[in-house]
Amino acid sequence: MRTHATWIRLVPWMTAWAVAMAFLESAVVIYLRELYYPDGFKFPLAPVAPHVAVTEVLRELATMVMLLAPAALVTRKRLERFAWFSFCFGVWDIFYYVFLKIILDWPASWLEPDILFLVPVAWSGPVLAPCIISVGLISLGCTLLWRRTRFPGYRPRTGHWVSLGASAVLFLYTFLEEPVSYIRGAGGTLETMVGHRAMDALGAYVPEHYAWWVFLAACVLGGATLGMMLLGQGRATVGDP
């Protein structure tokens, strides 16, 4: 049986990997801002050449693969791979903003709006929101790994997954609601919302509000579920998937 120290010993290396990935991510953004926002990043978004926009979408997809790869290498268990991916994603996202703050002194505040992701459509929201979610992802990853250490056959109950999924949907809603509504209001179609086309469709978009009450509900739901997973028994499985 694996000891408690097994996954603990991996934490420094997985953290180092995620922090290094965060620096590479921030470096790319710093270069892009020098090219497109020499006076500092602000909305509305500057026009971007189509091949650059496509490259950005592919880079984001490549980043997800690179965050998943070490999780797949350190364990064959699907749940533990998910746990390590969650942990690395959270560390990566937080340190991405740490490096932007150190190098560019951006964001000026936790409530500074940002374009967070372009897959499958453009996401926007205040910097504080993804940072809070990242803390939750780190906590989720550590909880799953710790529970697996104490109970090797542990898996969250179906209700836990449903609650976590509902929380994720609510978080996603807060990031997509305003930019998608803007594109639709400007006469855009589903095609113009997807991937690199969304950057052109958001040409005059300036964030005006964020669904904080929905975000808070998602935090409460996700936090309560995480607490139940931490304290509850979960369920054992045959084959330790």
pLDDT at 238 over 90: no
Question: pLDDT tens-digit profile of 38-55?
Answer: 999 999 988 888 888 889
Between residues 200 and 215, the one the model is more confident about: 215
In a domain, 62, yes or no: yes
Give the pLDDT score at 188: 67
In a domain, 241, yes or no: no
Note down the domain range covering 206.
4-236
Where residue 187 falls (left for φ over 0; alpha for ψ -120 to 50; beta otherwise) is left
Q: In DSSP terms, which residues pair with 126 in a beta bridge?
A: 113
Where residue 114 falls (left for φ over 0; alpha for ψ -120 to 50; beta otherwise) is beta
CA nearest to 29, candidates 14, 40, 17, 18: 40
User: Tokens 């926007």 appear where?
Assistant: 124
Between residues 233 and 225, the one the model is more confident about: 225
Judged by DSSP in three states, 194 sits in: strand
Q: Residue ranges of the alpha helices (H) in the chain?
A: 4-36, 50-74, 78-104, 128-150, 158-185, 190-193, 197-201, 212-231
**29-33, 67-71, 127-131, 183-187: the lowest-pLDDT one:** 183-187
- Total domains in the chain come to 1
Give the pLDDT score at 186: 73
Question: pLDDT tens-digit profile of 120-165?
Answer: 788 999 999 999 999 999 999 999 999 988 888 889 999 999 999 9
pTM, 2 dp: 0.90
Q: How confident is the model at residue 195 (pLDDT cuts 50, 70, 90)?
A: low
In a domain, 170, yes or no: yes
Q: How confident is the model at residue 239 (pLDDT cuts 50, 70, 90)?
A: very low
Q: Counting Cβ atoms within 10 Å, is residue 108 exposed (0-12), middle (13-18) or buried (19+)?
A: exposed
- For 99, which DSSP code? H
Q: How confident is the model at residue 2 (pLDDT cuts 50, 70, 90)?
A: very low
Give the pLDDT score at 199: 73
Give the pLDDT score at 200: 73
Cis peptide before 130 (omega within 30 of 0): no
Q: How confident is the model at residue 14 (pLDDT cuts 50, 70, 90)?
A: very high
Give the separation between CA 15 and CA 173, rounded to whole angstroms. 29
In a domain, 99, yes or no: yes
In a domain, 120, yes or no: yes
Whether the CB-CB separation of 99 and 31 falls below 8 Å is answered with no
- The overall average pLDDT reported for the chain is 89
Give the pLDDT score at 235: 58
In a domain, 101, yes or no: yes
Give the pLDDT score at 187: 72
HSE, CB side, 13 Å, CA atoms: give it for residue 136: 22
pLDDT at 233 over 60: no
In a domain, 134, yes or no: yes
Q: Counting Cβ atoms within 10 Å, is residue 231 exposed (0-12), middle (13-18) or buried (19+)?
A: exposed
In a domain, 72, yes or no: yes
